[in-house]
Amino acid sequence: MPQSAEKVLDHAPLFREPEYRQMLAEKKLNFECPHPDQIVTDQRELTKTWEYREKNLAREALVINPAKACQPLGAVFAAAGFERTMSFVHGSQGCVAYYRSHLSRHFKEPSSAVSSSMTEDAAVFGGLKNMVDGLANTYKLYDPKMIAVSTTCMAEVIGDDLRSFIENAKNEGSVPCDFDVPFAHTPAFVGSHVDGYDGMVKGVLEHFWKGSERSQAAGTINIIPGFDGFCVGNNRELKRLLDLMGVTYTVIQDASDQFDTPSDGEYRMYDGGTKIEDVKGALNAEATLSLQHYNTRKTLEYCNEVGQATASFHYPLGVQATDEFLMKVSAISGQEIPETIRMDRGRLVDAMADSQSWLHGKKYAIYGDPDFVYAMARFVMETGGEPTHCLATNGTSTWEAEMKELLASSSFGQDAQVWAGKDLWAMRSLLFTEPVDLLIGNSYGKYLERDTGTPLIRLMFPIFDRHHHHRFPLMGYQGGLRVLTTILDKIFDKLDRETSETGVTDYSYDLTR
C-alpha cells in the first residue's frame, strides 16, 4: 500500500493511488449494481434539458438538498449569543451532535450544547425524567448563568410541554427555582433555522420582560442581528458604526465573541454574549430594530406588544440598504451620521465605479435565507448586475412578493425570477437551462459549480470548505466593499483560467485588468 510512516499522504492524493483505484472499481462492480455507462450518460444529459426542468420545478412531494436547516439549529445559535448560556436541546443526542457540528465546522470553533438524550423509552413514556436529570447535570457540570431549552422532532411529536417540564425540574431541585431557564418549542419538521432563531430570542426576551414594568429611555435602541454565519465580522462592524454615531444601544444575541475565541492557552466554554442585565434593561429601549426581518417576525411582534417601536431590514448590505439602516438609527437616537461613516460610503461608491466595466451585465443566481437573497439581489443591481435566479427554500409567498417588487424597481431586475420554496436540485435545472455568470450561496453550491460550471461565491451559512470568511463583515459600507472585492476576484480568476493557454487564448492573459 502507498501509505507508510515514511510516506504519509492525505486523502486527496491517497485515493488516486493504483491500489485504491482498483479497490473502488471492484466495490462499484460487485456491490453497487451500477447501470450501464450509456444509460447513466443519457439520464445525466436529460436532466440538463427544459423538458426535465418543467418536471423538476413541478415536483411537490420530494425535497432534494434544501437550502435551509431545521429549527433547533437556529435555537442553538441564538442561545450562543447570550452571556454564559448553555443550549439544552430536549430530544435525541444525535440531533444535537448535528447542530454542534454544523456550527463548529462553519466557525472553526467549539460549539457547546447539551441534550436530554431521549431514547425509545422516552418516546413512549415522555421525556420528563430526561429533562429533570439533564438540567441537573448541565447546571452542575457546566456552570452556566442561563440554560436555554429548545426541542427536536421527538419531543414535539409526543407533545412534551417545556413550561411544565421545567417547572417540575425546578421543583425537584435540578436547578434553583430562581435560575433562568428560558425556552422555545422548535419542531424540526416545520419551518427552518430562522424560525428556531426567532422562537428562541423571543423566548429569552419574554422570560426576562414578562411582568416587568417598562420605563422608556428615549433614544435607546435594541439591535437583533438575526441568524448570521458572518456574525463575527458583521456584529463588530455594526458596533463600530453605532459607536461612531454615539448611539446608546444593546445588541441582543451577540455571538461574535463566542465564535471567535482567541488561542491564548485558556479554553473558554463561554465568551462574550449579551449580558443578562443588559437583556433585562433592553425592555426600556425606545425601539428594537431587526437586521433580518424573516428571522425575527414573532420577536418583533412581542417587542411591539410591550410598547417599543419596531422596524426591520433585509440584511443591510451595500449602499442603499446601509443608508436606510443608518438613517433609521439616526432618526430614533437623534445622533448625526458622522463624516467618518460618510467617507466609508463614498469609498464604496468609488470602488463600485472603478470596477463598473467588469460588473455591468453580469448575471447571477442567488440562494440562501430570505433576507440574504433580498440583500444580495439589491446589491447586485447596484453594481449593474442582473440577479437572474433568486431562490430561498424557506422563502414565503410574502417574501416572493417583496422580491418581485424589489426587482421591478430596477431595469437590472426586469428578467429576474423568484423561486420561493424550491431547493438546490431545482437550482441545478435553472443553471443548465438559463445559465448565469456567477452563483452566490453556501458550500453546498460546490456540487452545482462542478455540475454546471457556474463559479460559486460563498457568502452564506454554512461555509465548510473555506476558512475564516466569517471573520470579515458583509454588512455596512465596509461589508459591501468586502463583497464587491470577493465578486471581482471570482470574475478575474475565471477570466485568467479561460485565457491561460499559451499561444491559443493567452492574448488576453493580461497583467492589468
CB of 423 closer than 8 Å to CB of 65: yes
Q: How far apart are CA 130 and CA 120, in angstroms?
A: 12
Catalytic residue among 157, 306, 319, 349: 157
Longest dimension (CA), the chain: 81
Is residue 70 flagged as an active site residue? Answer: no
Write the DSSP string, 228-293: -TTHHHHHHHHHHHHHHHT--EEESS--TTTTS---SS---SS---B-HHHHHHGGGEEEEEESBG
Name the grid cell of 107. Answer: 466557525
Spatial CB neighbours of 237, under 8 Å, sequence gap ≥ 6:
473, 475, 476, 478, 479
Spatial CB neighbours of 369, under 8 Å, sequence gap ≥ 6:
68, 194, 227, 292, 294, 295, 392, 394, 460, 461
Burial of 447 (0-12, 13-18, 19+ CB in 10 A): middle
Is residue 153 flagged as an active site residue? Answer: yes
Name the grid cell of 445. Answer: 453550491
Q: Name residue 386's beta-bridge partners.
A: 363
Q: Which of 82, 49, 92 is nearest to 225 (CA)?
A: 82
Q: How many residues does the chain have?
A: 513
CB of 121 closer than 8 Å to CB of 480: no
Write the DSSP string, 129-190: HHHHHHHHHHHHHH--SEEEEEE-HHHHHTT--HHHHHHHHHHTTSS-TTS---B----TTS
Is the bond into 462 cis (omega within 30 degrees of 0)?
Answer: yes
Question: E strands, 36-145, where?
Answer: 85-90, 113-115
Q: How far apart are CA 192 and CA 72, in angstroms?
A: 8
CB of 418 closer than 8 Å to CB of 403: yes
Q: How far apart are CA 489 and CA 485, in angstroms?
A: 6
Catalytic residue among 96, 149, 153, 373: 153
Catalytic residues: 153, 157
